[in-house]
Amino acid sequence: MRYSQYFPKTVKEAPKDEVAINAKYLLRGGFIDKLMAGSYTLLPLGRIVERKIENIIREEMNATGAAEMLMPLLHPKEIWNETGRWDKADEVMYKLKKGDKEYVLSFTHEEIFLDVARKHLKTYRDLPLLLYHMSTKFRSELRVKSGILRGREFLMKDLYSLHTNEQEMNNYYWKVKDAYLKIFKRLNLDAVVVEAAGGVFTDAHTHEFQVRSEAGEDTIYFKKGWEYWKNKEIMTEEELKDPEIESKNAIEVGNIFRYGVEYSKKMDVSFTDSSGGKQYAWFGAYGIGITRLIGVLVEIFHDDKGIIWPEAVAPYHVHLIGLNLENETVKKQVEKVYDSLQKAGIEVLYDDRENVGPGEKFADADLLGVPVRLVVSLKSGDKVEWKKRSAKETELLTIEEIINKLKSK
């Protein structure tokens, strides 16, 4: 990608009312655009990052044996009445009416998944049923905040599972827990598992995945000997007073639930067991906030100049800067480097702007946060300067050395 064709261009200052780091940098770099409070457009660069996160999630979900699908966002009232959530979850739902018919914009998909499942589930041989999708959720949050970390419309990956019995459900639940930890690890995030209450979703305890960060709005607690961290909601008075308990600010990036057969009974999601009897399926649900992850990554990986993307999700592998482009020889050489990198299958953002000083190009490279910066100029001669976004040192390498270095990762 040539920077001259990049849209939109970076800006020097963020709007003054943006306080959250993630909002400032993502807005300045042109990763996102704000439509209204809690509602953002993912611009081309932001979309690339989002797709990379999706792909990591997709791979790990598929590895658990789940299959991807896509459910609708406009749901009829009737389906939500079956579980009683039309009323119970009223405050988070965006409801609409057209003529006599009432609808709701999806804030989650349990009911929709269960409806699909009950239409096709016949026998225990059909189980387990493991399906997920990645799409938009609408939630009428009481207050949006922290830039992209908490909006009223966001992308989420949600996985749903049905099983023949509790044991099977539990096995898969823990398998998903491991898959989630793998996902966060691949994103360079040090997520911890936290026990929590189920909110409007379930009365049973659930597990959250929290990334420790000052920007976090949750507080999580841990004491030596505990198997998991605990969410504030389930802490007891005595525990809160215990001086040996460690507490941290954290951002929730994922959550897993075991509903048991509660919803299956309400919606009659049943199957014929091996002895010919009718049984209700055991149900689990598992979510990851994709949009939020973009914000979390920025909150965790940045410095005073901009973002420092982990390699796995960086929009490009390298940021190539051409300086002294008025010099024909240099210009030809950068173009050649750009070409070779692309032919080698390396994703490159090439700052091909003429009449723009080096300082500005360097500042943009720092802001955008691509892991490796390459510079071709009069000074670099027939070599290329290599610098990691996270480091200070630079080194001069040949294009072959650079390609090898990038390929060997």
Instruction: List the interface residues with RNA, window 50-79 (CB under 7 A).
Output: none
Please enumerate in sequence order all residues whose Cβ is within 8 A of that of 284, keeping only pairs 6 or more positions apart, or say none.
Answer: 160, 161, 163, 169, 172, 173, 176, 256, 257, 258, 259
Among 399, 214, 404, smallest CA distance to 302 is for 214
200 binds RNA (CB under 7 A): yes
The closest alpha carbon to 137, from 290, 295, 294, 298, belongs to: 290
CA neighbor of 333 nearest in space, from 323, 343, 345:
323
Q: How far is the CB of 274 from RNA (least distance, A)?
A: 35
- Residues numbered 213 to 242 that lie near RNA (CB under 7 A) are 217-218, 233
**Residue closer to RNA, measured from CB, 20 or 187:** 20
Q: Verify binding: residue 367, RNA, rule CB under 7 A.
A: yes
Is residue 154 involved in binding RNA (CB under 7 A)? yes
**What would the x/- binding string for RNA be over residues 106 to 145, using CB under 7 A?**
---------------------------------x-xxxxx
The upper half-sphere exposure of residue 136, i.e. CA atoms within 13 Å in the direction of its Cβ, equals 12
Of residues 227, 238, 244, 326, which one binds RNA by CB under 7 A? 326
Least spacing, CB of residue 94 vs RNA, in Å: 13
Tell which one of 111, 351, 352, 366 touches RNA (CB under 7 A). 366
Interface map 252-281 toward RNA (x if CB under 7 A):
xxxx--------------------------
Phi and psi for 51 in degrees, rounded to 5? -65, -35
Residue reference for tokens 């750009």: 338
**Shortest CB 356 distance to RNA, Å:** 7
Question: Residue 9 Cβ, how far from RNA at the closest point, in Å?
Answer: 7
Residues 170-199 that bind RNA (CB under 7 A): 197, 199
Residues 278-307 that bind RNA (CB under 7 A): 287-289, 291-292, 305
Q: Is 324 in the site for RNA (CB under 7 A)?
A: yes
Query: Is 377 a residue that touches RNA (CB under 7 A)?
Result: yes
Q: Which two tokens stand for residue 391?
A: 């480091």
Q: How far is the CB of 380 from RNA (least distance, A)?
A: 4
Longest CA span, the chain: 82
Among residues 245 and 396, whose Cβ is nearest to RNA?
Answer: 396
Of 96-104, 220-228, 334-342, 376-384, the segment contacting RNA by CB under 7 A is 376-384
By the rule CB under 7 A, 379 interacts with RNA: yes
How many residues are given for the chain?
409
Closer to RNA by CB, 121 or 385: give it: 385
Residue 139 or 302: the one with the smaller Cβ distance to RNA is 139
Q: Closest CB to RNA among 277 and 359?
A: 359
Beta bridge partners of 76: 103
